[in-house]
Chains A and B, each alone.
Chain A
Amino acid sequence: MKLPETQLALLEAASATDPKTIGALTEEIGEDTAAVTRAAFELAESGLLAVEERVLEDASLTEEGERYRASGLPELRLRAAAVEAGADESSVEMGRLIDRSDLGGPEVDVALSNFARKGYGEIDGGMIALGDAPEYDPEADPEAEALDAVGVGDADAPDDAILDRLETRGLVERTETTVRSVTLTDEGVTALMEGVEATETVGALTPELLTSGEWEEVEFTEYNVEADAETVHGGKEHILRQTANRVKDVLVGMGFREMEGPHADADFWINDCLFMPQDHPARTHWDRFALDVAPMDDLPADLIERVEDVHRNGVTTEGDGYHSPWDEDFARAVALRGHTTSLSMRYLSGHAVGDLEPPERYFSVEKVYRNDTLDPTHLLEFFQIEGWVMAEELSVRDLMGTFTEFYEQFGITDLEFKPHYNPYTEPSFELFGRHPETDELIEIGNSGLFREEVLSPLGVECDVMAWGLALERLLMLMYGFEDIRDVHGTLCDLDLLRNVEVVY
């Protein structure tokens, strides 16, 4: 039989007839108590050893108790001083006695209260008089004797009541200890007779073990591998960023290039280029965030002229303009963009990366700003997925095919195209899709073919189809979040962000 070293040493030290305590065995073997105790139980488990437990009561002196054992109990010292000062004849001033007995700090109160309790005499008006107990033997005070007994480790000697008193006075601490003693079982005896060898176990695999080659000889202590480890929070990319990156991956894979541009922009790029009439409700104070900065000078004059013309008169001879006011100052006013279609306008006009020739595909997943009512699904700032395709000829079917492909990447199928109205696209569609989990029909985007009134001033002579979608909607679909405020903004819940499930 092979046993770990500690178990073997314990087995050899134990006796079949004479129970030995773990404490004694620990000293004998020279290992720590926990290891020996564990070994004893392990041996008991395998039937080689019997473990018997007894509960022992013990008492020990507290720090204060030790002090009084050395200097005498304060009340005894006070009494001794009183006897010496003749207080058995007439009252003596308390202050004098205290000085004389060399009592200090809290000891004075201890001395006075116990003096009174033990009936040594009377304390009245700062005077102390010894009472009628001259026969009282200070040398035989039971509390002092008990203190002595506990001090020498003979806690069994004193009376329980006296020990209780000393414990109340905070001079003695009583403890219960479990004493385990072991005896060899018959099986243990047999095993020893048959011969037991040691297997070595180690707690940690150390560099020394590895370099010395000792690791070949050892066995590793078993861990409780089922226990929970400490909680750690690794860093994590924000889930909305993760979702944005997922979208970017898909779009790049579909041949789209990323656009980049200003968050604060002239209304010209945000709205006028999009053939949004200047008195459109979305352009009123209540829907946009105008900024308190100077109007934007740096706008292409020829483009402004063409855009104004199309607003007033429509395109060529076949179109009509709006019957709405158009003011260049309003076009130059700077606001936070309400959609990233402002970037599409900058790119399509050739002012971002030069003139574009079909075919092109561009996208952006960036923040837009709208003065919406804050609720679980609406924030004042959110991410818009914006994408467009430019080609010589595009039909509604191409638009449908592109979106079918895109949304399929996110598990959204069975797209429905609800004819819709946007000032800047025609035909326009709201996109509806089946929720991958709930199977509900939900709105997932807005799309269309850019109108000639948008493209013609920009100098684009081919077809462009575009669509927009709130990234948050996709996130809520993918993660099943109900309140977007938990993740986006300073009211976010750190635990939610830390513990959110990975989606890939």
Chain B
Amino acid sequence: MPVVEVDPDELRALAGAEDKPDSELKGDLFSLGLEFEGETDDGDFELEFAPDRLDRLSVEGIARSLRYQYGHDRGLYLPETNDAQWAIEVEGSVPEERPYVTGAIVRGLDLDESRLESLIQLQEKLHATMGRGRAKGAIGVHDLAMLKGRRAGDDDHGPATATKTITYRGVEPDGDRFVPLDDDSDRSPAEVLETHPTGETYRDLVDGLDYYPAIYDDVGLFSFPPVINGKRTEVDEGSRDLFVEMTGTDQWTIDRMLSIVCYALDARGGRIEAVEVRYDDRELLRPDLSTDTKRVAHDRIERTLGVDIPGTEVVDLLERAGLDAEPSGGDGSVRPGAAPADGRADPSGLGDDAPDRDAFDDALSYDVEIPSYRVDVLHPADVVDDVGRAYGFNELEPTYPNVSTVGGRHGTSRLEDAARDALVGLGFEDLLNFHMTNEEALFDRMGLAPDDDALGAREPPTITGPYSEAYTVLRTWALPSLLMVLENNTHRSYPQDLAEIGLVAGVDPDEPTGVAEHRSVAGVVARTDASYEDAKAGLQAIARAFDTALSTPPTAHPSFINGRTAEIVLDGESVGVVGELHPNVLVEHDLELPVAAFEFRLDGLR
């Protein structure tokens, strides 16, 4: 989950809550779903939250939510947008892997160190979340004063309103050179990927492309998305007007990221100015701050929350969530009526206590207008959630659902439990080991090869690109796990009689998933006088308990001593192996006493 760092004083100032003590502020944040995780060295709050409300990735966004919560603001807010003076032209050379671009201009900012930091943090957090590590969307913020637009009319782009253009195009890896951020010398894009730390980090995103994405103004290349900006247009505390561009693999995603940034800069007093985005076949005016509308039935709200709420209150709650709601009757019409005395909108005009109040509410629905920064709203249910949050979920009284069902355990889990009880009754310590392990533990250390004809010898399901050498495959048998427990507990008192019932698996193309899974029963008897008899005695007792006929014809298994190894045959079916473990295996596991062992398929006891 994302964590943002915010200066609590700045948050107070922006939220209009200068006098809130820290404890109250933390409580208010918690009720918004922002959990206080700790403080940085500078005294900033570290706030963690679920990745739905990405508009809260900056102090400005969090403050906006608090203002709604405190009632300082109500309903939908739409920033004003001035007419476009600048345009982004998209050329055919743009790599098809990164075809989309968007942009906006924000003027009149008064950036200080902390505001700049907040902007950079928002940019980085958006990269990490919606931007999917810059792959899906990458943001570049530039000092507009450093850009020189090409005059419109220089080409054939018709009667454009914007007069200055910059260009989104492709550049050859060894093409035009520029000085990247945090650098002093000019480099080609390919050199940036090789030599610049940021270039190395994001290299995978463009590696292999014939042309790299690049943005040019009249002077030349000033941005190499999604890797790095040029130094020429770097934003500092003196920058007043910003040019924000975003490129990516999905137009909607970068447009919404842009909305979030614009709303944040608007909260800092910036004036948003539109930018034209000119594709070959279409022209877009950005930022797209237009709202979305969801129709939400009143009945759905009451059904989800499990309470009766007057329609008037729903509108109030939605406005407190920063949304606009237009009530309409079941037939789509709205009954006219005077607002209640307390100033809430009353769509029915009936007042809360009117006799046909409920009937009216049942047919009621709301057209809810949702701002563009709310990237989380996909469905009316998401609006219902907003109502619930504004209402306060913890205000609801729990009820036990009034439906009756019959409970029960699954047959496999009952069998497993019964077998475990039997083992425990025989004095075995029941263990629980990981299903993931490595081939060395499964095979080499057991003196076994995967292609042997023996229990445990089979192709293990392998983890693609494992992260740890210790966990590369699923185990094909369980005895290696028990041997490792013995190995790690040689300082503990003997006898050590250990058992485990757990999952083992093997690659099997005949299974729907390609993986055969079953439960295996494994036991070891480690004591100075452990012998085949000890293991066999335990087996006999279990077979008897489950009324299965046990026979143990001699067999050979590389992990066991020849002549002291038998197949476990239950009701005529070969299900496992029992014997004395081979000294090679014992020495490999640093054991200085004999170990008798068995392992068999749990379903053999059925």
Contact = CB atoms under 8 A, between A and B. Distances in A.
Interface of A: 231, 233-238, 240-241, 245, 248, 251-260, 262-266, 279, 281, 285-286, 289-294, 296-298, 314-315, 318-324, 334, 336, 358-361, 367, 369, 371, 379-381, 389, 391, 393-398, 400-405, 415-422, 426-429, 449, 451-453, 487-495, 497-498
A488 B50 contact: no
A291 B429 contact: no
B303 A393 contact: yes
Q: Which residue among B384, B462, B512 has the maximum number of chain A CB atoms within 10 Å of its CB?
A: B512
Contact of B385 (A258, A296, A380, A419): A419
B393 A419 contact: yes
Contacts of A358: 403
Contacts of A420: 33, 50
B404 A255 contact: yes
Contact of A401 (B292, B399, B425): B399
A492 B509 contact: no
Contacts of A452: 379, 381
Contact of A248 (B396, B405, B409, B428): B409
Contacts of A264: 461, 474, 505, 513-515, 517
Interface in B213-247: none
Given A292-B463, A394-B401, A381 B436 contact: yes
A296 B508 CA distance: 12
Contacts of B474: 263-264, 291, 336
10 contacts: A248-B413, A256-B407, A281-B51, A361-B405, A389-B403, A421-B376, A453-B378, A490-B434, A490-B488, A494-B496
Nearest to B485: A490
B410 interface: yes
Nearest to B441: A490
A157 B485 CA distance: 65
Contact of A235 (B305, B398, B423, B436): B423
B30 interface: yes
Interface string B296-311: 0000000111110000
Given A264-B517, A396-B306, A405-B400, 11 more contacts: A241-B430, A293-B507, A298-B512, A400-B398, A403-B398, A419-B393, A426-B382, A427-B381, A453-B378, A489-B433, A490-B481
B396 A323 contact: no
A476 to B, nearest CB: 15
A262 B517 CA distance: 7
B484 A395 contact: no
B81 interface: no
B307 A397 contact: yes
A331 to B, nearest CB: 13
A314 B393 contact: no
A498 B376 CA distance: 50
A453 B434 CA distance: 34
Contact of B406 (A233, A255, A281, A324): A255
B398 A265 contact: no
B464 A381 contact: no
A477 to B, nearest CB: 18
B180 to A, nearest CB: 27
B103 interface: no
Given A358-B403, A419-B388, A427-B304, A494 B435 contact: no
B493 interface: yes
Given A292-B464, A398-B401, A426 B385 contact: yes
A235 B252 CA distance: 61
Interface in B456-500: 461-467, 471, 474, 481, 484-485, 487-489, 492-493, 496-499
Interface in B401-445: 401, 403-410, 412-413, 417, 420-421, 423-436
Interface string B19-47: 00000000000100101000000000000
A494 B494 CA distance: 11
Nearest to A392: B403
B602 to A, nearest CB: 13
Contacts of B400: 398, 401-402, 405
B514 A263 contact: no
B503 interface: yes
Contacts of B399: 395, 397-398, 400-401
Residue picked from B30, B381, B397, B406, most chain A C-beta under 10 Å: B381
Nearest to A381: B434
Nearest to B252: A323
Given A260-B413, A391-B401, A402-B400, A421 B50 contact: yes
A400 B292 CA distance: 32
A492 B436 contact: no
Contacts of A393: 303
B432 A398 contact: no
Contact of A334 (B136, B409, B434, B515): B515
A22 to B, nearest CB: 39
A299 to B, nearest CB: 9
A440 to B, nearest CB: 14
A236 B488 contact: no
Interface residues of B, number: 96
Given A419-B33, A453-B379, A258 B428 contact: no
Contacts of B413: 248, 258, 260
A255 B493 contact: no
B471 A380 contact: yes
A421 B434 contact: no
A495 B490 CA distance: 11
B396 A418 contact: no
A235 B515 contact: no
Interface in B107-140: 129, 132, 136
Given A319-B378, A404-B398, A235 B430 contact: yes
B349 interface: no
Contacts of B488: 490-492
B295 interface: yes
A290 B388 contact: no
Given A241-B420, A380-B471, A451-B381, A233 B250 contact: no
B52 interface: yes
A425 to B, nearest CB: 9
A258 B513 contact: no
Given A323-B250, A395-B303, A490-B433, A427 B393 contact: yes
Contacts of A263: 435, 474, 503, 505, 515, 517
B333 interface: no
Contact of B379 (A245, A259, A320, A402): A320
Nearest to B128: A281
A397 B305 contact: yes
B394 interface: yes
Contacts of A231: 493
A235 B407 contact: no
A276 to B, nearest CB: 12
B203 interface: no
B191 to A, nearest CB: 29
Nearest to A285: B465
B415 to A, nearest CB: 11
Given A235-B424, A264-B474, A265-B513, A426 B463 contact: no
A99 to B, nearest CB: 49
A45 B388 CA distance: 83
A279 B136 contact: yes
B208 to A, nearest CB: 18
A174 B423 CA distance: 56
A248 B35 CA distance: 32
B465 A290 contact: yes
A171 B306 CA distance: 100
Given A252-B408, A453-B379, A402 B250 contact: no
Nearest to B471: A380
Contacts of B30: 418
A289 B513 contact: no
B150 interface: no
Interface in B360-391: 376, 378-382, 384-385, 388-389
Nearest to B413: A258
